[in-house]
Amino acid sequence: MPSGRSAGTLPVVAIVGATGAVGVELLRCLEQRHFPLARLRLLASARSAGKTLPFRGEALPVEELTSESFRGVDIALFSAGGSISKRFAPLAVAEGTVVVDNSSAFRRDPAVPLVVPEINPQALKSHRGLIANPNCSTIIAITPLWAVHRRNPIRRMILATYQAASGGGAAAMAELLDSTRAYLEARPYAPKVLPHPYAFNLFSHNSAVDPQTGYNEEELKAMHETRKIYGDESIRVSATCVRVPVLRAHSIAVNFECERPITPAEVHQILADAPGVKLVEDPARNHFPMPIEASGGDPILVGRIRADLSDPSGHSIALFAVGDQLLKGAALNAVQIAELL
């Protein structure tokens, strides 16, 4: 369902959750990519109302999010959590606003497109005012693989994720910094945001574990979302998601099995031209993708491309991918969707 604005006019855009970690990055992406808009409105909770955020040389005020906030808004970028999305996204759509939602609230709804612009931009044609932004680790894992899948269909993926604090928001990032300082100063520190000590530690992703399957919510998201985005329910996916003490870039070890035999050289050649991907492959210096080099950048870094020696059929490849969770894993992907709109 398109917005009611006239063709050729610039859209009014709103960011919901503008003061959060992803909201701030949405603001930066819109500015850095010179997104064409008539007006930008910043929406957040009542406690943030009255603050200002910089945008294109101005200090934009933050407004309280209410049920009346979407009158005259053409595109709303939501990043304020699932409960806020479930409450306010339908109200926005009813006003004629097209919503790009960064939460998990609507991702599994078959009527809501789940979009990575490099993979399935055509899915936007079926939207009815609501579009879901995929899970961050899913985006980072499967965007590089799409170019491979188109040439030699992938039949199975095994993912092991090493996920940064930014996936838990600004509060989790602050907890990593604070707990690290305390650790180095030999001071006690009680976790407040995450369930376990974070400094110099890692632990299974802090989402609820499904008692039937033993997989946590983050792992199940990667499995279901991959099949929906690729449009192929036959792909077998297994994931193990771990939280690591890194500020803002997710790393993922990927093992995938193709329909036909495939070599590392072929994968190198395919990924060299894949949109949104940058090869980082220097075995002589043992230099491969790292979170410190992906942080703050748009591309997903890919390297350590090698044959899976446990598969004598030659159908399987292992690689390592790293991407900024706040950018391609969230804000950048949402802004790219808005650009397509």
Give a yes or no: residue 340 inside a domain.
Answer: no
Residues 127, 149, 205, 250: which is the catalytic one? 250
Give a yes or no: residue 306 inside a domain.
Answer: yes
Give a yes or no: residue 90 inside a domain.
Answer: yes
Is residue 79 over pLDDT 80?
yes
Give a yes or no: residue 26 inside a domain.
Answer: yes
* CA–CA dist 133, 226 (Å, integer): 12
Give a yes or no: residue 120 inside a domain.
Answer: no
pLDDT (tens digit, 9 = 90+) per residue, 255-264?
999 999 999 9
Give a yes or no: residue 315 inside a domain.
Answer: yes
CB 14 within 8 A of CB 69: yes
* CA–CA dist 122, 180 (Å, integer): 45
Question: What pLDDT is stored for residue 1 in this prediction?
Answer: 40
Task: Answer yes or no: do 185 and 92 share one domain.
Answer: no
CA 169 to chain centre: 12
pLDDT (tens digit, 9 = 90+) per residue, 94-124?
999 999 999 999 999 999 999 999 999 999 9
Q: Is 287 a catalytic residue?
A: no
In DSSP notation, 55-108 reads: ETTEEEEEEEP-TTTTTT-SEEEE-S-HHHHHHHHHHHHHTTPEEEE-SSSSTT
Nearest to 19 by CA among 72, 84, 70: 84
Question: What pLDDT is stored for residue 8 in this prediction?
Answer: 65
Task: Answer yes or no: do 309 and 162 share one domain.
Answer: yes
Mean pLDDT within 24-31: 97
Question: What pLDDT is stored for residue 150 in this prediction?
Answer: 96
Task: Answer yes or no: do 84 and 181 share one domain.
Answer: no
Question: What pLDDT is stored for residue 72 in this prediction?
Answer: 96
Give the CATH number for residue 221: 3.30.360.10
Question: What pLDDT is stored for residue 175 in this prediction?
Answer: 98
Q: Is 127 a catalytic residue?
A: no
Domain count, the chain: 2
pLDDT (tens digit, 9 = 90+) per residue, 158-210?
999 999 999 999 999 999 999 999 999 999 999 999 999 999 999 999 999 99
Task: Answer yes or no: do 225 and 156 share one domain.
Answer: yes
Question: CB-based contacts of 80: which residues, under 8 Å, 6+ apart?
Answer: 16, 17, 20, 23, 44, 45, 65, 103
Give the CATH number for residue 28: 3.40.50.720
CB 25 within 8 A of CB 331: yes
Give a yes or no: residue 123 inside a domain.
Answer: no
* CA–CA dist 1, 288 (Å, integer): 43
Letter string b/e over residues 267-302, b meaning 16 or more CB atoms within 10 A of that residue's CB: beebbeebebbbbbbeeeeeebbbbeebbebbbbbb
In DSSP notation, 4-45 reads: SSPTTSPPEEEEETTTSHHHHHHHHHHHHTT---SEEEEEE-
Give a yes or no: residue 305 inside a domain.
Answer: yes
Mean pLDDT within 51-65: 96
pLDDT band, very low/low/confident/very high, at 5 (cuts 50, 70, 90): low
* CA–CA dist 222, 229 (Å, integer): 10
Percentage of residues in the chain with pLDDT exceeding 90? 97
Question: What pLDDT is stored for residue 3 in this prediction?
Answer: 47
Question: What pLDDT is stored for residue 7 in this prediction?
Answer: 53
Residues 136, 149, 258, 315: which is the catalytic one? 136
Q: Which residue has the tokens 């000590």?
A: 197
Task: Answer yes or no: do 67 and 158 share one domain.
Answer: no
Nearest to 111 by CA among 220, 232, 228: 228
pLDDT (tens digit, 9 = 90+) per residue, 278-309?
999 999 999 999 999 999 999 999 999 999 99
Is residue 220 over pLDDT 80?
yes
Range of the domain at 231: 138-325
Mean pLDDT within 254-273: 97
